Amino acid sequence: MVSSQDIEFFITIAGSRSLAAAARKLNVTPPSVSQRLQHIERKLEVKLVDRSARFIALTPEGETLARRGQNLLQDLEHLTQEVADSKRTISGDIRLVASLGFGEKHIGPLAAEFQRQYPLTRIELNLSDNPKWAQHNSPDIMFYIGHLQDSSLKRIVLAKNRRLLLAAPDYLQSAPALTTPQDLEQHRCIALRENDEDATMWRLTHVNTGQVSSVRINAVLASNVSQVTKDWCIKGEGIIQRSEWDVKQELAEKTLIRVLPEYQLAEADIVALVGSERLHRSDKVSAFLEFVQHHLPARLAL
């Protein structure tokens, strides 16, 4: 039976122009390459290389060994990494910061799942309508949606995200016409105050022309809690601006309808913010980031 070392050796030969070239890659003498190749052929009882050719020419059996062997080595590498990861000791405190709605709906459940998988960790999750990175008592990871002014933090995009304008069918039945961004000035609008953003300045870009329109809405209702603003909108109180991840169910059930679909708001990617480069992060932080990157897309797709 051939070993993984034999397969790796033969793949080097298969990727070389000659046995001498393979010897140079392996930093050994050409006779030793020839001897080891013969040894592998004797193990398998087949000829792997046609030695009558000027350059290395694999026999059909050699082609099979090179092709399948490459896949086997890759599988072996993945298996080794998976086992090593499972044995990696992940322990210690992990401090997380996230926005209220997103943190409650997604980061909270993921944090609990991660802690069950790594019981030597302790996780503290702080939620806020205006998450901040405190310099003197900084979190390990801050989850953020939208544009962040502080460029000193390392930004890891977890998922793309659009913001949409939405209203309930009941509201639209009795509301004024809504065909341009300027029409919003005549409508009941609902503002979500979070992340120090100007909640009443809505900027929309026409998908086809690229024309940008800025509208200062008159917010008849405002809150710093996203669920409150969404509930108001569902009850027909006015128009909201919400992230697509937060209204998938309402759009599917048609309790909310997208308005001005030919216009787009500024994208608000879902990101993780950390204070150090990857090579300098602790195992616990790297493990949690990998966990979220793996599981978050499936949650957002629900």
DSSP-assigned letters across all residues of 65-108: HHHHHHHHHHHHHHHHHHHHHHHS---EEEEEEEEHHHIIIIIH
Given a cut of 70, whether residue 282 has pLDDT beyond it is yes
pLDDT the model gives residue 78? 67
What are the structural domains of the chain? 4-87 (1.10.10.10), 92-161+269-301 (3.40.190.10), 163-264 (3.40.190.290)
The band of 221, judged by pLDDT with boundaries at 50, 70 and 90, is very high
The band of 32, judged by pLDDT with boundaries at 50, 70 and 90, is confident
**In whole angstroms, what is the distance from residue 285 CA to residue 282 CA?**
5
CA atoms within 13 Å, Cβ hemisphere of 102 = 29
pLDDT tens column, 171-219: 999 899 999 999 999 999 999 987 777 889 999 999 899 899 999 998 9
pLDDT the model gives residue 137? 64
Mean pLDDT computed over 143-149: 77
pLDDT tens column, 78-119: 676 666 665 568 889 999 999 888 899 899 999 999 999 999
Angle between helix 30-44 and helix 19-26 axes, rounded to 10 deg:
100
**In whole angstroms, what is the distance from residue 246 CA to residue 148 CA?**
20
pTM: predicted TM-score of the whole model, two decimal places: 0.62
Max CA distance (Å), the chain: 89
pLDDT the model gives residue 216? 94
**Residue 214: exposure state from Cβ atoms within 10 A (0-12, 13-18, ≥19):** exposed
pLDDT the model gives residue 26? 83
Amino acid sitting at position 5: Q
**In whole angstroms, what is the distance from residue 21 CA to residue 149 CA?**
54
CB 156, CB 278: distance < 8 Å = no
CB 150, CB 132: distance < 8 Å = no
pLDDT the model gives residue 215? 92
Mean pLDDT computed over 9-16: 85
CB 219, CB 199: distance < 8 Å = yes
Given a cut of 90, whether residue 299 has pLDDT beyond it is no
pLDDT the model gives residue 191? 94
Q: Which of 118-132, 143-157, 253-267 has the lowest mean pLDDT?
A: 143-157
Amino acid sitting at position 231: D
pLDDT the model gives residue 164? 93
Mean pLDDT computed over 3-26: 85
pLDDT the model gives residue 149? 62
CA 152 to chain centre: 21
Given a cut of 80, whether residue 152 has pLDDT beyond it is no
Tell me which H or E stretch contains 151: none
Residue 281 neighbours by CB distance under 10 Å: 18
For Cα atoms 269, 272, 278, give the angle at the middle one, nearest 5 degrees.
130
CB 188, CB 253: distance < 8 Å = no
Give 54 or 249, the one with higher predicted confidence: 249
Mean pLDDT computed over 3-16: 86
pLDDT the model gives residue 84? 60
Q: Which of 21-35, 56-70, 97-111, 148-162 has the lowest mean pLDDT?
A: 148-162
Match 């290389």 to its residue by tokens: 49
pLDDT the model gives residue 83? 65
pLDDT the model gives residue 1? 80
C-alpha dihedral, 243 to 246 to 252 to 254, nearest 10°: -80
Q: What percent of the chain has pLDDT over 90?
A: 39
pLDDT the model gives residue 143? 93
